[in-house]
Amino acid sequence: MQTIAFTTDADGIATLTIDVPDQSMNVIGPDFLADLDAAITRIASEDAIKGAVIASGKDSGFMAGMDLKYFGSMLATRDGSRPAPAAIFDQVFVLNQLFRRLETCGKPVACAIEGTCVGGGFELALACHRRFVGDSSKTQLGLPEILIGLFPGGGGSQRLPRLMGVQAALMYMLQGKLFRPAEAAMLKVVDQVVPQGTALEAAQAWVKANPTATAQPWDVKGFKFPGGVGQFNPGFVQTMVGALPMTLKQTQRNMNAPVALLSAVYEGAQLPFDRAIRIESKYFAKVAADPQASNMIRSLFVNKQAAERGARRPKAEPKAPTMKLAMLGAGMMGAGIATVAAQAGMEVVLFDRDIAYAEKGKAHVETVLKKRLGKGMTPEKMAATLARVTPTADYADLAGADFVIEAVFEDVAIKAEVTKQVEAILGPDVIFGSNTSTLPITKLATAWSKPANFIGVHFFSPVEKMPLVEIILGKETGPAAIAKALDFVAQIKKTPIVVNDSRGFYTSRCFGTYVQEGAELVAEGINPALIENAGKQLGMPVGPLAVSDEVSIELGYKVMTAAKKELGDAYVVQRSDDVMTQMVERDRLGRKNGKGWYDYPEGGKKMLWSGIADLFPRADDQPDVEAVKERLLYRQLIECARCYEEGVLETPEDGDIGAIFGWGFAPYTGGPFAHMDTVGIAHVVAVLDRLRAAHGDRFAATEQLRAMAATGATFYQSVPDRAAA
């Protein structure tokens, strides 16, 4: 066996130690399936074996889910087409069959869990007769597949409801929510929590003491679901009747997996277990056959992990972890960056022009940490973290810092002055990062005497919660600066993308088009409620007017006026410019001053401002919601495509990760480039041509898109050379 070490002790207890080679975490692939099949055969057929324990040989945890490269191979045929659901069913049902053989092998099987146990790994644990978990605050268990466009396909959707009841199981599975050990024991998902490092010993002792414990609860005559099931059970009916509309509302009818999960649970709960797992595999195959699942897996898991592991990091550069961070600016962004850096163990000098502002920034750090007390944060940890943050208004205190991040006011002259002051203390060999969201890095780098050591490090607000960091390369940014910035992002456990310099870079530039198109629609007299609902139905977190309020209408206005000044005659005026100007002139700046596109009554729920119709009269003819969704979507798609053609983006992977995690682009699509590939580039060009004819050149297709449409190329397989385009 390549992935399982099979040993037997003097009492006839077999121990299956899983250690998948060349993987940091155990995953389910073809070799593991073959080895598990052989192991189950031995357990069932050899009289000398009285029972078995399954454990992990890796320090990283027990087991994760399916090897997604292997899973991807199930979704492609030799000619590149997608197999039919029936063909996928035959492959995915193999896992269900194996786990079913394990729990019906006629011998007691226990599971010894130390560390992470999720996805298919947790489904393996559920197929054991007894589950022991080492007590560690870092251990997580559960079925998070819904978060990457799938649902539990190894019996999890059938076993979990039989253990904890349909309603509770659905709550966890539909949210992809994980259990901590004590929580899992309380809900009877695991049987016993034991001191960390003793799960194997406890499991072996149980197997030895319980030679007849060979049946799962659902295989015992008279078994009943916790809470009951069936069409005549009022609790079950009420749960299922309520779950569907709630799920459709939360997903805006865009996601396949949640509805399939509900169907699998509803039908499977009313059937014998062997038929129930076939139902699960049927719905799983249907979800897997749709491109949505593979797009989400690629962007939300495979490419995201690759980015976090340094896919864009210069390979020749030595590791360069940050030990002491000079954080310039103690506002919301600077204080947020200081918080995550201090939590990662770095010493942070939090600088502002006035010590009172710097102290206020440290107070923000304390407030954030206090909210985490009892959630992995202890008073001792909090005190140690706070001690690493030193507020100051004296540049001299920055001495010894090995990385600088600047987050001062968005003004070239102010940033240049601060940059020069810092270089006078630290020298030009230290890497300097600017957290600007729009100002060109190449221009800002002229204030640092070694532009090769200057780089953009764009965070998103609130820093503590937002997972993305956009690394921006100026024309002279060198590999040492790239490596330093990416190593810093890895230290604070965030996801990086790497882009090239331009006004607005990638995320701010493309996110801005969503807000701008919302304003264009308002200017045309489109009902604001229609605009907002269309944005949410598209799969965006909120409508374009609501997000404009959140980031501040005034900020958008300032970015627009700065761009006008910078570009001069080259600036292309849009109707949305006038919309923003009129809103700012009326002091409707957004949530920050309690009035923007929405009113924000104190203690009440926000509501669309009634004066919008007076300022922008309602058109007699209103489009349907699909037309508004199309405009909001394609205005973003074409800007993403322009960024790629211009070389702001170098890979579609960065484009998709940046869109989803940076501005909340509809996750079910897998990102803008995955979506364009899925619907077909020729279709994208045809829609853009129609929208351009109706609404102007902002929808004009790029030459690269036209070349791709002509040749059948896709972003992820065969993009034509930019120069040729």
Please list the active-site residues. 458
Question: Do 348 and 390 contact (CB within 8 A), yes or no?
Answer: yes
Location of structure tokens 């995915």: 92
**How many CB atoms are located within 10 Å of the residue 521 CB?**
28
Q: What DSSP assignment string belongs to 547-605?
A: HHHHH-HHHHHHHHHHHHHHHGGG----HHHHHHHHHHHTT--BGGGTBSSEE--TTS-
Structure-block tokens of residue 342: 């201090």
Would residue 505 be called left, alpha or beta, if left means φ above 0 and alpha means ψ between -120 and 50 degrees?
A: left
Q: Rounded to whole angstroms, how far apart are CA atoms 174 and 166?
A: 12
Question: Do 88 and 22 contact (CB within 8 A), yes or no?
Answer: no
Question: Do 681 and 641 contact (CB within 8 A), yes or no?
Answer: no
Structure-block tokens of residue 441: 């890095």
Q: Rounded to whole angstroms, how far apart are CA atoms 378 and 376?
A: 7
Q: What DSSP assignment string belongs to 261-330?
A: HHHHHHHHTTS-HHHHHHHHHHHHHHHHHSHHHHHHHIIIIIIHHHHHTTTTS-TTSPP---SEEEEE--
| Percent helix / strand / coil, the chain, rounded to 5 | 55, 15, 35
Cα 133–135–140 angle (5° rounding)?
A: 70
Q: What DSSP assignment string belongs to 14-65?
A: EEEEE--TT-SS--B-HHHHHHHHHHHHHHHH-TT--EEEEEE--TTEEE-S
Task: Choose among 5, 53, 63: nearest CA to 29.
Answer: 63
Q: Is 415 helix (H, G, I), strand (E, B) or coil?
A: helix
Structure-block tokens of residue 184: 């899992």
Question: Side chain identity at 126, as an amino acid letter?
Answer: L
